[in-house]
Every structure is written in C-alpha cells, then in structure tokens.
Structure 1
C-alpha cells in the first residue's frame, strides 16, 4: 500500500523509500500524468529531507557547542573538558579519531595533549617539529589544512618518525585547525580518518569553532590553576593564622591601620606610630642618607657603619634584617620602589619578631615606600612649578606682575612681603637633588627655589639676608655633604625688587668666590668695601654703601644742622690728630672732642678700628666723588 510522503518524512525514511512509492504506482498502472506528479512530489520531498538532515546536523553541532560551553562554565578538570571537545569533534565530523596538539615553548615543537579514537601508543607519543607534518604546518602558519591522503600529499614536510607514527595509526585523511589565543597560535585541533575522505568547508568551520572552545578551556584552566594556587596559599596562611589567634588580630589591625594611612594621605610619621603601637617598640624612619624622617618612642639609633651595612643588606634582600647594637637589638626593612631606595624602617625594643610581626613590619615598609614615592612625585612636581615661577620672577617681573603674584599665591607664597634672596654655589654634581633640597627648604618657609645660570636661588620671606644665607648653606651642607658658598641680599618686596635683589645676591656671591672665601655665607652689607670693589657697583650701589656707613651721621647733621660728617673727614685728614683737625675745622679742640664722642655714640665705639675706619674713609671719599660744588656753595650730583 502506498504511503504518503509526509509519513516518510516524519519517519526519516531513506531516499529509496520515496523511490519505492513511484515503483508501486507503476505496478498499479498509474497514468503518465500521475507518475509525473509523483516524480515532482518525490523531488520536493527529497529536498525537504535534505534540509531536515542538514537542520538536524546543525542542531547537533549547536548542541555540542552548547554542551562544550556548559562544560567550560563548570570547569574543574581541563583535561576532561579537552577530551570532551575532541570526542565531540570526532562524532560531529564522523572521523575515526580526533586529537589536540599544543606547542612546547621550551622544546620548540608540538606534542599531543589529548586524543579520542587513537589505538597507537607510538602515535600518541609523537612530537612534531614546528612546520613538519600537517599539524606542524597548521601551527607554523596559523592556517587550517586538510588532506584526503596524507602520505601522498606533497604539501607537507614528511619525516621518517612522523610518517611511521601516522602509518602505525593507519591514518589517511587529516584535518587540522589552529588554536588561537589573542592572535597567537598555541596548538591545533586535528581530526583523522583511516580511509580517504574529503573535508568540506562546513566541517572546517565546525572544527574551527570547537578549537575556539578548546582555547577558552585552556585559558580558563590556566586562570583556574593560578586561582587555585592563590587559594591554596591563602588556605595555608589562614591555617597559620588560626593557630596564632593573637597574631591574626594583630595583623588585621595593622593592615587596616596601614591601609588607612595610605588611603588618607598620611606620612612616614603615621606609619611609625602604627608600628610602634602594634609591635610595641620604638620606630624610626630614615632617608637614604640615614637622616631621620620620623621617629616615635625613644631616641633614633645612632647611624654608624654597622647600621649602614644593615640598611644595605635589607635593601639587597628585600626582607627584614636583624642587627644587635651595643645597648639594644633592632630590625630594619628597606622601603624600596623598583630600584629606588626611598627610606628605611628601624624597629627597636621587642626581644623578638614573630613571623607575623615580621610580615607586618615588611608590609609597613611597602606602605612607607608608596607614601614616600607619592610624596616625592608631588614634591618634584611642586618644586618644578615653583622653580618655573621663580624663573619668571627673575627674568620678566614687569611683564605681568599680577599673574606672577596670583601664581605665587597658589603655592602659598606672597611676593609682596619682604624676602631675603640667596644665591648659592657648591661643589656637587647632582643638580636635581640639590634643587630638591633647596625646594623643600623654600616650601617649608613659603618661599621659592630654583636653578638659574649654574647657581641655586632661594627666596625666603621674613628673614634677614645674612640669616637666610646661613640657613640655606647649613641645610645644603647637611643634606648633600658638600661645600656651599652663599651670597644674599634683601629685604625685597614685589617681583621687580626681588629681581634686583637677586642680581645683588649674585654680586655678593661673586665677591665671596673672588676673595677665596669658599664655604662662607653673607649678605652684601657683610662684604663692606670688598663688595664695592669686587662686585662692579653702579651709582645706586655707591649711594647704598655711603648710606650704610655714614647714614647715622648724615641724619644727625640734617636734623641738628651739625657737621659731624665734616668733622670725621677732618679727623681722618689730620691722621687722627685733634689739634690738626681743629685747625682744619677752625673750631676749639674741645668742640672737636665732643663731636668725636657724638660720632662714637652714633657709629659705635669700634669706629676707629682699622677695618671700620677704612670703610668710613672709603665712604667719605665716595661721597665726595658723588658730589661737586655748583659755584654757589650747593653740592650737586655729578653721576647719574
């Protein structure tokens, strides 16, 4: 009895069953028109059957890919997942065996990781040189390859060992697709058949999709392995901490407090306080040169050769170093960022450090390094900006003084208050470090510092010039261990005045160096007439020098209508002889004596000492040169 084509399609009958319906119709003497109709229906039914077969195949592929993805989501054993991928590749492609090969980066060849359907131990143990065989070529070129008969295919590099292993497995047809991880080939997924057969494009595409899942499995396995290792280490730490409950609380407290210091922008002293409280000792933080940055508790240890050697050892090992001092025992940990040694933690007091306490100490060193590195970065940026501001003040103070003042206020500096200007020279090669030391000093006092024409320049508010020069010299000598010579001038308020004072300070420094007074510091006034001679003075400098030496006498003469300046000139002209001076002045000897007593009161009793007397005579002489008689008895300036 004839059956409908729908029934046959529903039963997934083979093509012969559809042809059988046509034969039955012929046997029943169906008309030619009826037979033609049946042929058309059979053709349509067979096309539908083909589509249904392809759809089932597609569903099987998608199901396999879905199952593979599900395996990956619940990954526990990477080899099990890879075996499942290889097995599915074998089933979906309908081949005799499938296997997955990986690159051995150390040996620079390819080995088989997992197989399904292999019967030859020799084949499973094969190792392919990169570029050899089909698998080696796939890995070398990152390109899929397929062959219906491997042994006779001349596209591949055949080797005796590889061909023998392939023959031992009985493989003829082979398909290989690369395993790609982030664009890099890590291996290949291969399918083999023991009889010749082609591999159409859709099978190559399927193998490629399965290979992509295999790569995900391998990468997930690596990450999972690393996570497992981290979890294992964490379990060990947890077990250790459970055996030491007190140390657990201690470490947690220290961690929280050190993290708080880091997050809230604390400093080295805050780290020292946390360590002193948690570990119960005295803590000092030293800079790379051994200077104390912070100290909590007792006196910081004396920096000697043994301590410096321990610092070097802590820096070299990256761990805690124990040091027995004459009166105490201490521990050191270097605060290091990369290759930069930023400081050293020194703990003294405890009789011993447990392993947990040592970890806290070393963690504190890491936190200290981060804090010091951040502070250094901020300070360097701040110093650089302050240096640029100072450069603009010294070069172009009149160009935009309002902008200069506003920029200074952003850095807590006020250019309109009186400043001392210091210019320093030193025998030190690391200019950047010298500038950093000067900049820190300036920032402490709300001043500015920078480098100009081979000299350090520091301006400090509310300081006498000589005092500022001594302060700058002392700080640079202490930090750098070098000879520092400093000249100063001031006070000066406002950008233009600061610029002028800078030039005076440079002149003062030049005079010190010309006199061979290396390592000294003073202001322009402290040089006396030597500054006048060596500093290339102008008219204003001459007037300032005269005023500095004779000012009290000039003011007295102006107020009282006296002639103390003339008396002083006559006294020096007479070689210190009162009678001769009286003759020059045409007054009584007692009058000369009384005037000299008044001069001593105004200038100080040491005015007759050789150096001061010499400077007074120079001032009188310069005053005469600066003035001339206009013929009416009035003195007028001859220098402009």
Structure 2
C-alpha cells in the first residue's frame, strides 16, 4: 500500500505530514515518530487514491444511486458484487462501508424530503384555511387535507358539545356508513372520547381488540359498520381548551408512526386556529349584520323621533299662535297624509279636513280611552283626546289603514296637542262665557246702567244696535242635561255673534234676528238634531235696545211654557205664532197685528179686487158653517157661496176649517168687525 495518502477531511498529504515531523524531531525519536505515522495511516479513512480503480467504480455507482434517489435494495448490489469480485479484502470492506454510509445518507435525505413535503403541505393547508370564510368549508377542507397528507382510508372530525357534555361527528371524508357519520361519543368513551377528555393524542393498530379504550355498543357498531381497524386521534386545542378531535383511520390493521402523529397534530393545530378564526369571522359577520340592523333601526327611530318632534313643534306652535281646531285638523292630516275628523266629548263635530267619512263610533272612542292608545276600526284610526282621565273628544284618521308604529305614536302625540287646544279653548270659552253670561244677565235683569251695556257688548263682538231676538230653550229630561244644551247654545251664539247663558234656571240665547218666530222654529230643529232629542224654543222680539231685553225674556218664557202646555214640545215659536193665546199672553196686545196675521191674505184680496170675501166668511161662521143658510143670508145662489169659500180656502190654506183654526178666524173676524166699527163710528154691516 502506498505510503502517501490523502486525508478525506483535510485534503493534506499524510506522507508530507510525517516527513515534516521527522525533520523537526530529534534523532533518538525517529523510530517513535515512524510508529506514530504508521498508526495514523492505519486509522485514517481510505480515499479515492487508496483504492483500486475497480473499487472506485463501485463507489461512483453508489454516488449515482444517491443522486437518482434509487430505492434501498439497489444499494446492496455494488457491495455484493464487490465481495464476490476481484477486489482485495480491504477494497471490499471499503465498498461495504461506503454502501452503509450511502444508505444512511439516503435515509437522512428521504426524511428531509418527507419533512419538507409535510411542511410545504402544512403551509399550503394554512394558506387554504386562511382563505376560507365559511365554517363548514373550513371543516371540510381540514378533513380532506388530512386524508391527502396521511394517505389513510378515512378522515373525520368531531366537535365538543359543551351543553350536552359529549362530542359529535361533524365532518367525514371517505366514510360510507350513515351510522358512523352520526355517532356521538360521551367524554371518555372510545378513542375519540378519551382524546377529547384528556386533550392527548391516542392511536390504535386495531381498535376492536384494543382494551385501553372504553367500548360501547353504539361506538363499536358504528366502527364495525365503517370497517375501521387502525385509528389515530389528536385533539383540536385552543389554548388549554379542547374543541374537538381530528382522526385518521385505515380499514386494515397497522401502526401509526410518530411522524404521522406529529403531522396530524400539526394539522389539528392549524385546523383549530382556522376553526376559531372562521367562528370569530362568522360571529363578526353576524355582529355586523346585527349592528347594521340596529343602526338602521336607530336611524329609523331617530327619523321617526325627529319627524314626531317636528310635527309636535308644528302643532304646538299652531296652537300657541292662536290656530283654531280646523287648522290643527288640517295640519294633522298633512303630517300623516290622511283625512282628519275631530269631535268633542259629546260627539259634536268640531273640525273636518280632507275626508267625508262618518264620525267614529262611541265604542271605538271608549276602546282608545281604555287602552290609552290609538285603535284601528274598519281602516280608520281613532284616538281619544284625554286630559288625565277626562275625555275631551276624539280624533279620527282616515285613508291610512297601514299606519306603522312611528306614525301611530305621531298620531297619538297629535291627540295630546289637540287636548291642549281643547283645554285652551275651554278655558277661553269658560272665561268668555262667564263674561257673556254676566252681560246677558245684566241685559235680562235691567239692573246695570243701560248706557254702558253696548260698549261691553262690542268688546265681545255683539252689536246691540241691531234688532235681537230672545230665545228661551228647554230640553226634556230624556234629551240632554242642561250643560250640553248650554254648550250647544254657546256655539250657536258664537257663530251668530250673540250671547248665551243661564238666567232664572233657563238656558237663554240672544242673537240678531228680525223674525223671532221662524228663528225659533229653525233653532228647535237644529238643537234637536245636535242633542238627539226634542228642544222647545220660546221666542220674543225683536228688541231695539238694552232696555227691552228683560220684557222680551219674560215673553219668551211665557211662550215656551205655552208650547209645552199645548203639547208642542220640540217646536219653536213666538207668541204671535200662537194665535189668540199669544194675544192673551202678550204684555202688549197687538190686535191689528193678530188680525193681519190671521186674515191677512183675505183682507189683501178684498182690498186689491174690491170684493168682500171677509163679510162672506163672517156670515158663513155666523150661520153655523152652513153654505145654504149663508146663501140665504147673503141673498146669493148657493153656488156663489161655494165659489167664494173655495177662494177663501186657497187664500188661507186647506186647514182653515179645522176647529182650532176656525176659532182663530172667528176671533180675528170679530176683532176686525169691532175695529171697523170704531174707525167708522157706526156698526159694521
């Protein structure tokens, strides 16, 4: 063997090293130095220059196999050939040693490549999971990637149910059994339950025969139906909390290597983070949706509140600026885009805007009053107008059957403003009624200075210089209490620039009128409709000054009493409309007026045409209403009498021969006869 060898690690010549050592040593140490050099040479690894060309060729083959990544069995061929070839023992040993080193290097390289592939797969998995947003998609991706990385028959994932205290199958990949896909494991039951309980990985080469686990009929039957033998389970952990278990399983018995356990555990760690991230993202999405919904709700509520405040301010300002109830009804209809009806507590209409609907029923108003909220009745919203527990009236909104909560509250707020207006109106009305009542009392009693009454009246919008009629009102006990009658009279007085009040227990109404009789009849009809019952009205006047009101009031009272005595409740009249009773009851008897009122058409006909129908009528009554005897007394044919009576009937009306009317006519004829006698100074013929 050559004495000069190249060191594999240093690349320096051993022979040179030995030579340099001999030159620097003492002569006496030469033999020791040579022995040391030989020992070093014997222990130094053989290099390419130490082997034969044939052995060197075997070594090149080994390097080529490493470069190609050949399987392990191909590495044993060079060593076997070297032992049976023409190599020396030393060369054969060198080739065998090189083969063992090459196999070790191959294993190391294979492990590195496998680890590199696993790391790359884990990175890819992490990237894939990071891109997923749906929790279900994340779980499916985890299970599928585990199946690809470990190459097992089945992979699956279970999640812990904290409320039920167990773990349930969530996702599977490669499973064919429905029972297996729906199985639930109690904590500590089976391999998965033990992993979930202890937060540690467990594996088994053959689950059916492994007695380390607590077997149950449900789990064993599901595993048997799926045909699983080898099972590996690792925990899905978030910090110290286990949220589930990730499994890899084969249908043949085998042992899982530590590398497989580590790989599945790494994947489980990524999976747990991805699951938690997806959960947090889902919760964030849900929170954002809820937040957006809450934001929209708050915005809508804010808009509704702002709209309600604007409407309230608008209505309140309208009231404070002196707007009337019609202005408020119009404003409410404009704000709520509907028609509006406002009634008082008695059901009398106060205002109407944009609707021709009928007033709400008393039942609807009562329902709103009882609940304190607006109610819908047949597409019409009704809200009671309240001042505390007192009912002031009602508001009805038409044309808005779909009134939402915000508009409903706005409508209810409008009722509060309406209550404010009605209270103001009532306060003003009470004050004004008191002032008007005081003025009316002074007019009817004559106790105040007449000179100051016109000025007081003008301040109330009443002109006493105009002819006024005095009306005394009486409603039956079944019709309405006096406050309702007084309220109705006050509204009429205000509308007609008059006065209303209570005097000597009578509701008295005074307003400008030239003819009190027709005015009383019209007033009785109007009040009867408002109060839904008969109202009797006695009238007097017209009066020309403050001094005449007291007498007119007394006459109107007598007239009202006479109407009730005659059974004419619910009608209105003046004394002159009562015929001779009016003449008898009147303080100032106007006989000429009574004659003109009773016989006026006949007297006018005679005066215009020169006839004497008046005389014929008087004779007809004198002879007992006999046409034949009247013809004899007048010395005319009976047909002439018939024609004259027919003409009288057309002038006086068809009922002129009724007993009551006939009595009136006979009295008027007697008064006319006496009047003519007094005027002529001789008896009338």
TM range (shorter): 0.5 to 0.7
* 2:575 alignment counterpart: 524
In the TM superposition, residue 348 of structure 1 has moved relative to its aligned partner by: 3.9
Alignment size in residue pairs: 389
Call closer, same or farther: CA 1:578–1:291 in 2, change over 3 Å: closer
* 2:422 alignment counterpart: 372
In the TM superposition, residue 344 of structure 1 has moved relative to its aligned partner by: 2.0
Cα separation, 2, equivalents of 1:483 and 1:239: 59
In the TM superposition, residue 620 of structure 1 has moved relative to its aligned partner by: 2.2
Cα separation, 1, equivalents of 2:642 and 2:528: 49
* 1:406 alignment counterpart: 455
* 2:340 alignment counterpart: 283
* 2:623 alignment counterpart: 574
The structure 2 residue matched to 1:321, chosen from 359, 366, 374, is 374
5+ residue gaps, structure 1, are: 1-236, 636-640
Cα shift readout 1:562-614 (whole Å, capped 9, x = no counterpart): 75544432232123456644665678989877876775575456544544333
Cα separation, 1, equivalents of 2:498 and 2:343: 26
Q: How does 1:116-195 map to 2 (within 5 A)?
A: none
Call closer, same or farther: CA 1:592–1:286 in 2, change over 3 Å: closer
- Other structure's SS at 2:347 match: coil
Call closer, same or farther: CA 1:553–1:471 in 2, change over 3 Å: closer
Q: How does 1:523-602 map to 2 (within 5 A)?
A: 523-532=574-583, 536-537=585-586, 540-553=589-602, 564-577=613-626, 580-581=629-630, 584=633
- Other structure's SS at 2:570 match: coil
The structure 1 residue matched to 2:413, chosen from 345, 351, 363, is 363
Call closer, same or farther: CA 1:301–1:424 in 2, change over 3 Å: closer
- Other structure's SS at 2:452 match: helix
Cα separation, 2, equivalents of 1:524 and 1:279: 53
Call closer, same or farther: CA 1:348–1:588 in 2, change over 3 Å: closer
Contact kept, 8 Å, 1:486 with 1:521, in 2: the verdict is yes
Tell me the TM-score normalised to structure 2 length: 0.49
Is residue 475 of structure 2 the alignment partner of residue 426 of structure 1? Answer: yes
Is residue 384 of structure 2 the alignment partner of residue 384 of structure 1? Answer: no
* 2:523 alignment counterpart: 472
In the TM superposition, residue 261 of structure 1 has moved relative to its aligned partner by: 1.0
* 2:393 alignment counterpart: 343
In the TM superposition, residue 444 of structure 1 has moved relative to its aligned partner by: 0.5
Call closer, same or farther: CA 1:587–1:404 in 2, change over 3 Å: farther
Cα separation, 1, equivalents of 2:347 and 2:641: 63
Contact kept, 8 Å, 1:283 with 1:300, in 2: the verdict is no
Q: Which stretch has the larger CA shift, 507-516 or 618-627?
A: 618-627
Q: How does 1:270-309 map to 2 (within 5 A)?
A: 270-300=327-357, 302-304=359-361, 306-309=363-366
Call closer, same or farther: CA 1:299–1:582 in 2, change over 3 Å: closer
Q: How does 1:28-47 map to 2 (within 5 A)?
A: none
Cα separation, 2, equivalents of 1:586 and 1:629: 27
Contact kept, 8 Å, 1:413 with 1:447, in 2: the verdict is yes
The structure 1 residue matched to 2:445, chosen from 392, 395, 398, is 395
Is residue 508 of structure 2 the alignment partner of residue 451 of structure 1? Answer: no
* 2:320 alignment counterpart: 263
Call closer, same or farther: CA 1:354–1:600 in 2, change over 3 Å: closer
Cα shift readout 1:85-108 (whole Å, capped 9, x = no counterpart): xxxxxxxxxxxxxxxxxxxxxxxx
Q: How does 1:160-239 map to 2 (within 5 A)?
A: none
Cα separation, 2, equivalents of 1:278 and 1:249: 13
- Other structure's SS at 1:271 match: helix
Contact kept, 8 Å, 1:241 with 1:248, in 2: the verdict is no
Cα shift readout 1:332-384 (whole Å, capped 9, x = no counterpart): 43322244321222334445555543442232222111111111111122222
Cα separation, 1, equivalents of 2:526 and 2:546: 25
Contact kept, 8 Å, 1:242 with 1:248, in 2: the verdict is no
In the TM superposition, residue 438 of structure 1 has moved relative to its aligned partner by: 0.7
- Other structure's SS at 1:540 match: coil
Call closer, same or farther: CA 1:606–1:259 in 2, change over 3 Å: closer
Is residue 670 of structure 2 the alignment partner of residue 617 of structure 1? Answer: no
In the TM superposition, residue 616 of structure 1 has moved relative to its aligned partner by: 0.7
5+ residue gaps, structure 2, are: 1-293
- Other structure's SS at 2:557 match: helix
In the TM superposition, residue 389 of structure 1 has moved relative to its aligned partner by: 2.0
Cα separation, 2, equivalents of 1:536 and 1:353: 62
Cα separation, 2, equivalents of 1:284 and 1:587: 70
Q: How does 1:244-263 map to 2 (within 5 A)?
A: 244=301, 246-263=303-320
Call closer, same or farther: CA 1:538–1:589 in 2, change over 3 Å: farther
Contact kept, 8 Å, 2:525 with 2:570, in 1: the verdict is no
Contact kept, 8 Å, 2:528 with 2:570, in 1: the verdict is no
The structure 1 residue matched to 2:553, chosen from 499, 502, 505, is 502
Cα separation, 1, equivalents of 2:402 and 2:679: 91
The structure with the largest alpha-carbon Rg is 2
Cα separation, 1, equivalents of 2:681 and 2:328: 79
- Other structure's SS at 2:568 match: coil
Cα separation, 2, equivalents of 1:291 and 1:284: 11
Contact kept, 8 Å, 1:335 with 1:368, in 2: the verdict is yes
Call closer, same or farther: CA 1:584–1:445 in 2, change over 3 Å: same
Contact kept, 8 Å, 2:345 with 2:392, in 1: the verdict is yes
In the TM superposition, residue 411 of structure 1 has moved relative to its aligned partner by: 2.1
Cα shift readout 1:471-527 (whole Å, capped 9, x = no counterpart): 433444344444322222344433345444433322221111112333333333443
Call closer, same or farther: CA 1:338–1:238 in 2, change over 3 Å: farther
Contact kept, 8 Å, 1:272 with 1:284, in 2: the verdict is yes
Cα separation, 1, equivalents of 2:299 and 2:575: 71
Cα separation, 2, equivalents of 1:300 and 1:363: 22
In the TM superposition, residue 462 of structure 1 has moved relative to its aligned partner by: 3.6
- Other structure's SS at 2:502 match: strand
Cα separation, 2, equivalents of 1:618 and 1:406: 45
Tell me the TM-score normalised to structure 1 length: 0.52
Cα separation, 2, equivalents of 1:461 and 1:322: 44
Call closer, same or farther: CA 1:474–1:373 in 2, change over 3 Å: farther
Instruction: Let me know the Cα RMSD of the aligned residues.
Output: 3.9
